[in-house]
Structure 1
Amino acid sequence: MQFTPTQKRGATWFLIAAIVLLALWLLGPVLTPFIVAAVLAYALTPVVDKLDDLGHGRMPRVLAVLIVEALFLLTLLSILLLVVPIFAKELPLLREQVPLLADRFNGWLSPLLAQFGIKASLDVASIKAFALKYLNANFEEAFGSVLSSLKLGGSVALAIVGNVVLIPVALFFLLKDWDRIVGLVMELVPPKMRASVDSFTEEADMVLGQYLRGQLLVMGVLAVYFSVALAVFGFDLAVPVGIFTGLAFFIPYLGFGLGMLLALLAGILQFGGLYGVFVVFGVYGAGQLVESFYLTPRLVGERIGLHPLAVIFALLAFGQIFGFLGVLIALPASAVLLVGIRRLKATYMSSKLYQN
């Protein structure tokens, strides 16, 4: 059986893609910090380039990279520190409120079950013992337990620390040599295919740029909305919870869930009743509706052309294959795949196989 040149090229690219996917699957833990650094470098390279342009060539690129990376790391550290006041304030309250909430719940549940002939009640004493033991405000003891767990899981701790150090180092070199690295990769493309590859990369770059800009707008709007809405209803931790929720929307659905859990915890502990629960459900329900039906379709979905079901499938599929790394790169990778699918569809519809 004779294969046409087009079929041979298609088989070659399919084999290359299969090898790349297999390598990503096998070397996922090793490649994770480098892929994270590459994604960050792609997003931050335009900022470095603009800083270069502002300097009119007088600013060394290394200095521009250091400034941009330092600002990015400071921003990331500030975001992480938003969660600290939540736990620092809520853990002591949690220790006090958990036994009271358990008593209330037990007082409501036992009569309800008794109506159906079921005798059951919560072991409130055990719950109180748990609260006293694990929800205390003794941070020195907690720090000691963390150290002991690090000793037991030394390889895990070493991997975490290694990634924390490796990602900024890899990001620095990628930002500094991004254009040269891209040029070296493009040199591997056969000359006859460079025009089509350049066209594909330009379209993919445009889609990814639109995705990143749209996602940043959605995150910013939601951070302001949740902060203001929770503050209006009297939440003490409205600003840190609201900002964390808005920024966590970078990971669709998962970020919303984490933010809502923090808000529920803050509401229950501050108000001690159903008021905080109802407020959180109302605020977050309205926010989810606005985000799903207006913000994301207008600012993100229309730009990259991904249906909500495709977003969910991409998150599940990439997460299943590549773990947390897959969840992180699911939507950007899907946007690039979408460009390829559009081109395949156009080629198929213009072929004789479709027209006949």
Structure 2
Amino acid sequence: MFAIVKNWVNRYFSQEEVVLLVLLLLAALVVLATLGQVLAPVLAALIIAFLMQGMVHRLKTWRLPHGLAVSVACLVLVGIIAALFFVVLPIIWRQVERLFNELPNMVSRGQSLLLLLPDRYPGLVSAVQIDDLFKTIGDELGSISQALLTLSLANLPILAGVLIYTVIVPILVFFFLKDSDKLIAWCGSFLPQQRPMLRQIWYEMNDQVANYVRGKVIEIAIVAVASYAAFLALGVNYALLLAVSVGLSVLIPYIGAAVVTIPVAAIGLFQWGWSTEFFYLMIVYGVIQLLDGNVLVPLLFSEAVNLHPVAIILAVLVFGGIWGFWGVFFAIPLATLLKAIMNAWPTEGHKAEWQAREAASEPEAPAE
């Protein structure tokens, strides 16, 4: 038994670079678990800087100096943050307040509609079951209202923290973009000079994750804007709130679209009932989902991620359960990281390939 374990360890962990990779992954997990909240502004700034690299490179292709390109990109970031805080969020907050004020009427109307079911289908549904269902819903709404009240009164320091982040994060993003080459070189100085496996993982992750994250942000923006325009044209209540929900639903592949359909259909049904306007809403919403899945996603992610749908769903469930919203957002990049590590794990074929790459990358000795 010990011989089998020893042979397995020697086969897969005999190289220095493999041990280094395992230690780096463990150190990253420990840092996130222990200092995740403290380093949240730094991590957020890293993510945003990673997203804005494409804009900086595009500006530099227009012959702008590096410092000026970084400054323009940061000004765009500050403008986006200001628009979110002073335009989008106040509208969403007002619509959330209206929705919570109208929820009791919506619940009572839904109850009156569902109470017709026991008369039509007495063998399947009883009036007691309907009453128990809406009692549970009422208790949940009461707990949500109490939680919102507690949040607004007892967690005011969080608002101060958010305001601090809005100042710190753009500053960090500026320096990450301005000195990205120096920071990468400094981090690389702690690693071995010969690191073919780490280089392979870095190249694969840099290409795929950068394309995925930028594409996902673009997809959220396009779907949200298209949904908002469609909901406004149809005269749907809470148009911006629903549009933001539809845009964020693309974060969870296959599941988000199904979940967000419920509030869209519920608000449309409460507003219009079983009318032509309601069916128009559902048709337009279905067209948006079809265009997103069959046109926008292939266009944005044609070469970004190559994962099986089962692997994507498992990644969303696992990483979302561990890290919440950010786990869901980065579920596919993290799954891509695991796939890159599995592909780059040392084998005899990899060793020969890496040796050839290292030999090709070494500078030639000057002729005497």
TM over 0.5: yes
Q: How does 1:1-356 map to 2 (within 5 A)?
A: 7-51=15-59, 54=62, 56-57=64-65, 60=68, 63-74=71-82, 76-77=84-85, 78-80=87-89, 83-84=92-93, 86-87=95-96, 90-91=99-100, 93-106=102-115, 108-112=116-120, 114=122, 118=126, 120=128, 149-153=151-155, 163=165, 166-193=168-195, 197-198=198-199, 200-216=201-217, 218-219=219-220, 222-223=223-224, 226-227=227-228, 235=236, 241-242=242-243, 244-246=245-247, 248-253=249-254, 255-256=256-257, 259-273=260-274, 282-285=283-286, 287-288=288-289, 291-292=292-293, 295-297=296-298, 299-300=300-301, 302-344=303-345, 347=347
Aligned equivalents of 1:147 and 1:32: distance in 2? 26
Aligned equivalents of 1:256 and 1:294: distance in 2? 16
Change (3 A) 1:36 1:17: same
> Where does the alignment leave 5 or more consecutive residues of structure 2 unmatched?
1-5, 353-368
- Assess if the C-alpha contact under 8 Å between 1:97 and 1:272 holds in 2: no
Find the residue that maps to 1:252 and give its secondary structure: coil
Report how many aligned residue pairs link the two structures.
337
What's the offset of the Cα at 1:93? 4.7
- Assess if the C-alpha contact under 8 Å between 1:227 and 1:239 holds in 2: yes
Aligned equivalents of 1:166 and 1:147: distance in 2? 28
Aligned equivalents of 1:93 and 1:350: distance in 2? 62
- Assess if the C-alpha contact under 8 Å between 2:207 and 2:304 holds in 1: no
Aligned equivalents of 2:147 and 2:323: distance in 1? 31
What's the offset of the Cα at 1:189? 2.2
Aligned equivalents of 2:42 and 2:53: distance in 1? 16
Find the residue that maps to 1:10 and give its secondary structure: helix
Q: Which amino acid aligns with 1:208?
A: V
- Assess if the C-alpha contact under 8 Å between 2:42 and 2:169 holds in 1: yes
What's the offset of the Cα at 1:35? 1.7
Aligned equivalents of 2:217 and 2:124: distance in 1? 52
Q: Structure 1 length normalisation: TM-score?
A: 0.71
- Assess if the C-alpha contact under 8 Å between 1:244 and 1:259 holds in 2: yes
What's the offset of the Cα at 1:188? 1.9
- Output the aligned Cα RMSD: 4.4
Change (3 A) 1:191 1:48: same
Please give the per-residue CA displacement for 1:203-259, whole angstroms capped at 9, x wherever unaligned: 322222332454355445544654566567663555763465235424535653564
Please give the per-residue CA displacement for 1:21-68, whole angstroms capped at 9, x wherever unaligned: 232223333333322221111111332344456463396467335413
Find the residue that maps to 2:253 and give its secondary structure: coil
Change (3 A) 1:164 1:266: farther
Q: Which has the higher contact order (CA 8 A, sep 6+)?
A: 2
What's the offset of the Cα at 1:332? 2.5
- Assess if the C-alpha contact under 8 Å between 2:208 and 2:305 holds in 1: yes
Find the residue that maps to 2:265 and give its secondary structure: helix
Aligned equivalents of 2:260 and 2:88: distance in 1? 13
Change (3 A) 1:94 1:279: farther
Change (3 A) 1:295 1:19: same
- Assess if the C-alpha contact under 8 Å between 1:227 and 1:242 holds in 2: yes
- Assess if the C-alpha contact under 8 Å between 1:223 and 1:242 holds in 2: yes
- Assess if the C-alpha contact under 8 Å between 1:94 and 1:269 holds in 2: no
Change (3 A) 1:39 1:257: farther
The aligned residue for residue 139 of structure 1 is none
Change (3 A) 1:31 1:260: farther
Change (3 A) 1:76 1:239: closer
User: How high is the sequence identity, in percent, across the aligned residues?
Assistant: 23
> Where does the alignment leave 5 or more consecutive residues of structure 1 unmatched?
135-141
What's the offset of the Cα at 1:20? 2.0
Aligned equivalents of 2:339 and 2:80: distance in 1? 29
What's the offset of the Cα at 1:350? 5.7
Aligned equivalents of 2:188 and 2:74: distance in 1? 27
